[in-house]
Structure 1
Amino acid sequence: MSTDSSIDPGRCWGGVYPILGPKLPAIAKRLEASGRYGILAGQSWGPPWIPLAAAAAVTERVQLACSVAIAGARSPFETAHAALDLDRISNGRFVLGLGASTRWVTRSHFGVDWPKPVQQLRECVEAVRHVVAHAHTGLTPFEGEYFRADFAGLEPAAPPVRSAIPIWLGALRSRMTRLAGEIADGVIGHPLWGVDYWLGRVQADLAEGARVSGRRVEDLHQCVYLTVAIADDPREAFADARQSVAAYAAIEQYAPFFEDAGFGDAAARIRRLWAADQRELAASEVDEAMARAFVIFGDAEHARREVARVANIATTWSLSPPSWGVPLQRTGFYTAQIDRAFFGRI
């Protein structure tokens, strides 16, 4: 296993966001020039293919992927047509990353209820693949349990660049990870998945899912997403790591995940304090063991050792700073620290 002080940029992702003016194209060009494998865009508000389309227009080589598009925010049929459009704009460089998010998010933020996320995401993937494969030849009706469309009067689309676009699933707990192993082309890690979780639970769940469909884990693209906070003073990195973990633990829908990880009691205390707007006290409930379970934090050498532990399972990496619950300027600081520690740039 490699313990080099840097990792191959050709296996690493960068990220773009919907920002003003020429900044987004400039970032996309810089990431491609640096040799990065690809560019990711996630979804908190609008669909991630908007910034990815802007990145596609000014790049030629890098892959472009959602990390992830919230599947319940729109019809799977619209998602499929958007994927075809972006694959055309990028000349075959798009990867559709889909995730269920939480029922609270889909219902509260997007006005759509997804009460059975595993079953609904399974059918969503089936619907997307149906449209991607056949939109250019004429679509037959899709009749699922959750999604239906007869496509009456819909003219065939232009021939696609590819009639099969890779679909990766984002996951948090075991059922969704097993689904990724069974039906997806790859998996995108959750920001809370630490190194030990990747090496243990994730590999077991992917293998179990892959066996259902007669595949091997090695057939899946594993985009190993790791949250990394590097600082010369480990106390500084710990302070931001615990703040980020507390922000996730404060979400009621994440309670089962923290319970499974052995931190259920701490997460319950965090939720109570967060609800009372006592966020600093909430963060203080995250001890070092809890923070290390979910975030790589410390000096650069420690971060490099931890990342090297997953080298044998990672198809690609996304090394990202803590962002949830952390001030934007701190996120920028950690982004620069990651670049310096792993890519030799200040």
Structure 2
Amino acid sequence: MRFGMPWPGRDVAPEAEQAGVGAFCAGDFVDRDAYLTLAEIVSGTETALAGPAITYAFARTPYAHATALRQLHAQAPGRLFLGLGSAAFRINRDWFGVPGDHPVDRIAETAGAIRAWLHAENGARVQYSGEYYSIDADVRAPVLGRLDIPVLLAGFNTRMAATAGRVADGVIGHGLFTRSWWDAVVRPAVARGAAESGNTERPLEYGWIITAVDDDAPERAIADARRMIAFYLTVKTYDPYVAHHGWQEPVAQLRSAFRSGDTEAMTAAVTDEMLTEIAVCGTTSEARKALAARAGSLPQDIGFFAPPSYLVSRRRRAAYARASLGLLDVIPATS
């Protein structure tokens, strides 16, 4: 595997790439656009892989996703990947004003329709027919040509993970993923999906690793990691994951604290076991030991050192990104 990180900005990126960071990823939120960030990544790096991990699948049409990737491919050929996430139902409905029902089936078609645009050859019609998308484009300008850009789906629960194996090139794991969740739930589901499609290639595995390293203030780094875990676990979509690990009681506590606005209690509800299974944090020495212990629980291809973002300033996130460079040699990189 190789290590990457969410885009740390132009100040940190050259140092990170030179140190051995092999991939940078971008994301969507109300104050940032994944493809605009991706444009900054490809212009500010030389060899690292680059892509959304993730972009909101339904916030754009398949055409818009593919067009952005085609333009960026001209600047970074062979370096791009696409990570798609379905987002929560209310985000699709209330933020984007688009349907959010049947997210698994819908994202499967989204991936297929994007591929129809990416694989289109000059002179051929771009066609895709499904329940949610119908495309029949006769593009006369000579601007196409097949692009084999890997498409991955953010697969947390079994059905989405199986869909990633069936219709995509692989899966992007959440920062909450543990060794047990990868091995007992996600990998078997992805393998089932790949088998259903007849795909003989091993599905790609990318994933996030909650990482907060600070030799001067390790307690703060640990607290930031706990708070990030707590914030993620307020989402009921992850209830099967919580039950799988037997963490119902602390999760009930942190959700109650979140509803009442008690951030300290929410953070404190994350147990030491949860922290150890999920995050890499503390001093550099502690983080190196934690990462080595988690070697079998990491994605096989790319692990993104992801600084906590919930109630963490941009400046501190950049400091965490730079500090994570001290972890790059813990696990030997493979191509």
Q: Does 1:338 align with 2:321?
A: no
Matches within 5 A, 1:1-346: 11-16=2-7, 24-45=9-30, 46-134=32-120, 136-151=122-137, 154-156=139-141, 158-160=143-145, 162-216=146-200, 219-231=202-214, 235-298=219-282, 299-310=286-297, 314-342=300-328
The alignment partner of 2:94 has SS state of: helix
The percentage of aligned residue pairs carrying the same residue is 27
Cα 1:235/1:187, change in 2 over 3 Å: same
CA contact (8 A) 1:41 1:51 kept: yes
CA contact (8 A) 2:234 2:251 kept: yes
CA distance in 2, matches of 1:199, 1:302: 21
CA contact (8 A) 1:243 1:326 kept: no
Cα 1:150/1:183, change in 2 over 3 Å: closer
CA distance in 2, matches of 1:281, 1:258: 19
Cα 1:166/1:306, change in 2 over 3 Å: same
CA distance in 2, matches of 1:324, 1:134: 40
CA contact (8 A) 2:5 2:321 kept: no
CA contact (8 A) 2:307 2:320 kept: yes
CA distance in 1, matches of 2:168, 2:261: 40
Cα 1:135/1:82, change in 2 over 3 Å: farther
- Unaligned 5+ segments in structure 1 are 1-7, 18-23
Please report the TM-score for the alignment, with normalisation by the length of structure 2. 0.85
- Unaligned 5+ segments in structure 2 are 331-335
In the TM superposition, what is the alpha-carbon distance from 1:27 to its structure 2 partner?
A: 4.1
Which stretch shows the higher mean deviation, 123-132 or 237-246? 237-246
Equivalent residues, number: 325
Q: Which amino acid aligns with 1:12?
A: F
CA contact (8 A) 2:16 2:325 kept: no
In the TM superposition, what is the alpha-carbon distance from 1:328 to its structure 2 partner?
A: 4.0
The alignment partner of 2:106 has SS state of: helix
In the TM superposition, what is the alpha-carbon distance from 1:124 to its structure 2 partner?
A: 0.6
CA contact (8 A) 1:14 1:40 kept: yes
CA distance in 2, matches of 1:13, 1:209: 26
Please report the TM-score for the alignment, with normalisation by the length of structure 1. 0.82
The alignment partner of 1:119 has SS state of: helix
CA distance in 1, matches of 2:140, 2:33: 25
In the TM superposition, what is the alpha-carbon distance from 1:300 to its structure 2 partner?
A: 2.9
Q: Which amino acid aligns with 2:309?
A: S
Cα 1:166/1:286, change in 2 over 3 Å: same
Give the RMSD, CA atoms, in angstroms.
2.8
**Which structure is higher in RCO with an 8 Å CA cutoff and minimum separation 6?**
2
